Structure 1
Amino acid sequence: MCALRAANPMRVRPTRTGGGTFAAASAYRRAVPATGDLATRVTGYVVLTLDPAVPDVAADYWMHSERFYRAVAGPVADRLGGDLAYRRLAAHPTDADAERALAARVRVLLDEDPALAEELGGRADVADDNVYINYFRGPAYAPDARNADLERLTGLADRAATRPDGRGDEVLVVVPISDRDGAGRIRNLMACLLALRDQTMPSAHYRVTVVEFDDRPRWRGRIEPLVDHYVHVTGHGLFNKSWTFNAGVRHTLGAARTLCLLDADILVDRGFLARNHARFAEHGHDAHLPHTEMLSLDAPASDHLIEERCGRGSADVPLGGARGLLLRDVPGACLWITPELYERVGGFDERYRGWGGEDEDMLYRVASAGSVLQFDDVFVHLAHRRPAMRREDGQPFNAHVPVGTWTGEQGYGGLDRPARVTGTDE
């Protein structure tokens, strides 16, 4: 999949303004001060080889990137593998203090061996340009952030200002949710919704719809005060994100000029809606991905950035206190699209259930039917317990779905059940 994305068969046109290497890309640019120290970069690649969360975050990204990680980290393991600092990080790869200790040892090693420093610098440059999962830790990261749990978010929501009624004819934001056990997604959704209430775009110009997939409207009481529309679809078994998006668009579109289809775990900045809505007029396209990079935060960084954005009211999502895995060219998380193109492609393919595939499928069909751009924002993804990513037999959940074949002719977005295509549903 990474090789296909690198070849850009979907014809998504980038509008990047960043530097030539991934290390100089936007997440690093926007953290103050910037982190360009070679020892820090090299130690980051050691973390990527040691942390078991890296293969889990995106299997195809890991398969493409692993050899580049090891090209940088291998010489460090050869020289310092027996060192206490290395062994401590190997035992605790998410320990920021252990990481800093190893970075200090690597810095000494590179100062003592300029030839090794030159070699690793070259390898890191190559890796920066090729990996699809990088590592990021802002200079102000601390693992002792205030716990931004559901109780904390509920308190913030209770104090949030009410939104004036408006037609919201400029933008409709649709956010799906399924959280049967309160394992983090409802907390993340509430943070997402609080950030969407705090926007430079006048509140009368946009509306927010949340569609809950569950056997009952489990979180309606928490969600409804923060949104313009709450929709419940009776869902059992694996989450059907495609159906929830389609139901939200189909039943709450109104006269909106643009659609923002946003995952519930994304924490946006204050200018998010105004900036992305304006991009349509500036560039004349039909759809776009706002982001080139997505920073998948660890739990302490999630707590910290929720508190900064939703508790303290920061206009931005300050990356200086962040830590996580930096994913490149993620096809999901958010899609901005005109209602006309959404209707033309028949919305998302409702045959996709469980994790994976629906975003790539939608992007493939959208780019075949209209013009699609990609901008270089950094998206911040809040931590939650990861869902199962494959079936019990090891196969992807949606391997049976033929990519790019959905047309919507059979209908989409009904409230009673997902649409079906004869011969391809399981």
Structure 2
Amino acid sequence: MSHLAPVDPRILAEAVAGCVVIVSDESAAATAPIFWHWARRVVTPVLEELSMLPDSEAREASESLRQDWWSGEAYNRLVRRLLYLAECAQNDVKVLFDRAWEAVGNSRVGYHLGPFYSGQPDEIAVGALLTKARIGTHKKISHDEDWAGGAAALIVVPFRDTTPTKNRLRNVVACLRALRDQSAASTDYRVVVVESDEFPRFHEPLRTLADHYVFAPKAGSFNKSWAVNAGVRNVAGEFDLVCILDGDALPDRDFIRRNLQRFLVPGTQAVLPYRDALFLDEPATGTALRQRLLNGAADADRDHLRGFFVRRNPGLCFWIRTHTFRAIGGMDERFEGWGGEDTDFALRVAANAALDRYGDSILHLYHPPSSTPADGTVPNSHIVKMSWPKDSDFGRLDRFSGSLPAAGTVS
């Protein structure tokens, strides 16, 4: 029996239902493949315990949720039945709750189902985000102004989309739009989008949505680390801070102001502003985009969203003093594809500077998963963690351009 379990039976019943969804919904595995493989070891025993409950209605509700994992009705049916059994003081349910809470405490993948989630498709096209997004009073249009003097922060958004769905393009357009709708003064920050590809596929519209556009030529696998380094190195001006922001994040309106203020505290060198990132499913992504950008809300309402939490995720968003970023040699450019680069960077920062973490909420927009090993192995595991040299000549635009005819461009 756990001595740290909450007394509210609803929390425990929802923990059980969440475990069922995490195992049943394939998109949970796609959200964070490595973390999901680890989570499955502690979550699966909960389902085994649930299948042995003597109550047939609870077992039937569990099976219904396994089949219709997206259904709020199926989810709530199981929760209600477990609450009834708990009220009847069923010892089997106490054992089940205890096992579920142990799983929740040892899993880095969690489940979120807003009470008003509809599950209805709401496809928001790139064109709508470009032409219909409602930008607030702090809209940034800076291309005709002289930004050579720099600013407090440089927001670096690395990007590539070679997929037929163009979900990543939609996401980065949404991210850049949200960065132009901020409560922070427009003079406090600049945004650079770094497109790394064989050729600049989306120079327009990206150039019109960011203060700076950098094309970093590279064939083969996407290299986030190098793209970020290229953005830091190749934008003119002095910046106190660097914010590394994935193009699939959807910032709220106070995102920049809130994090700038944190660096006013002496000794603040680096900040991971959130603990749990909410990876939205496809319908919830449409809802979030409509609320935040088409309806002009300051943030998307979590009560209408569904997705999976990735707990203590090291990537998606990272704030760091420019001095510290340069002192550790930037991000490790040996990492190819997706996997390991954010963890390595966070470890090197923590080993060389003070790293603070906050409990902000942050949203990750849906896109089809990248190809990852099905067996749970870690990509780039051959690279020795924390071995990137501090004196590296990072962010050179010609690093991978030997096989490509195009040269890197900065605007």
Question: Normalization by structure 2: what TM-score?
Answer: 0.86
Within 1, Cα distance between the matches of 2:146 and 2:9? 44
Superposition deviation, residue 327 in structure 1: 1.1
Amino acid at match of 1:61: F
Q: CA RMSD in A?
A: 2.9
Within 2, Cα distance between the matches of 1:96 and 1:334? 30
Within 1, Cα distance between the matches of 2:385 and 2:323? 22
Give secondary structure in 2 for the equivalent of 1:294.
Answer: strand
Within 2, Cα distance between the matches of 1:115 and 1:37? 17
> Which position in structure 1 is the counterpart of 2:107?
131
Within 1, Cα distance between the matches of 2:39 and 2:132? 40
1:298-327, Cα deviation, whole Å (9 max, x unpaired): 001111011111111111232111111111
Superposition deviation, residue 408 in structure 1: 5.0
The within-5 A match list for 1:14-29 is none
Give secondary structure in 1 for the equivalent of 2:345.
Answer: helix
> Which position in structure 2 is the counterpart of 1:29?
none
Give secondary structure in 2 for the equivalent of 1:170.
Answer: strand
> Which position in structure 1 is the counterpart of 2:371?
388
Residues 212 and 335 of structure 1, relative CA distance in 2, 3 Å threshold = same
Q: Is the 8 A contact 2:134 2:294 kept in 1?
A: no
1:244-293, Cα deviation, whole Å (9 max, x unpaired): 10010001151111110000001111111111111112252211111100
Within 2, Cα distance between the matches of 1:297 and 1:171? 28
Is 1:413 paired with 2:389? Answer: no
> Which position in structure 2 is the counterpart of 1:118?
94
> Which position in structure 2 is the counterpart of 1:333?
316
Residues 413 and 157 of structure 1, relative CA distance in 2, 3 Å threshold = farther
Q: Is the 8 A contact 2:58 2:82 kept in 1?
A: no
Residues 311 and 104 of structure 1, relative CA distance in 2, 3 Å threshold = same
Q: Is the 8 A contact 2:20 2:62 kept in 1?
A: no
Give secondary structure in 2 for the equivalent of 1:390.
Answer: coil
> Which position in structure 1 is the counterpart of 2:20?
46
Within 2, Cα distance between the matches of 1:244 and 1:36? 45
1:309-355, Cα deviation, whole Å (9 max, x unpaired): 11111112321111111111111111101111111111111111111
Is 1:208 paired with 2:188? Answer: no
Within 2, Cα distance between the matches of 1:322 and 1:158? 21
Give secondary structure in 2 for the equivalent of 1:335.
Answer: strand
Within 2, Cα distance between the matches of 1:158 and 1:123? 47
The within-5 A match list for 1:22-421 is 36-79=10-53, 80=56, 84-156=60-132, 161=139, 163-164=141-142, 165=145, 167=147, 168-181=150-163, 182-252=165-235, 254-282=237-265, 284-390=267-373, 396-418=378-400
Structure 2: 5+ residue stretches without partners: 403-411
Superposition deviation, residue 36 in structure 1: 4.7
1:97-138, Cα deviation, whole Å (9 max, x unpaired): 332333333334434443234333333333332221111111
Question: After TM superposition, what 4+ stretches of structure 1 lie above 6 angstroms from structure 2?
Answer: 20-24
Within 2, Cα distance between the matches of 1:232 and 1:157? 25
Q: Is the 8 A contact 1:166 1:203 kept in 2?
A: no
Question: Normalization by structure 1: what TM-score?
Answer: 0.84
Superposition deviation, residue 419 in structure 1: 10
Residues 177 and 324 of structure 1, relative CA distance in 2, 3 Å threshold = same
Identity fraction in percent: 34
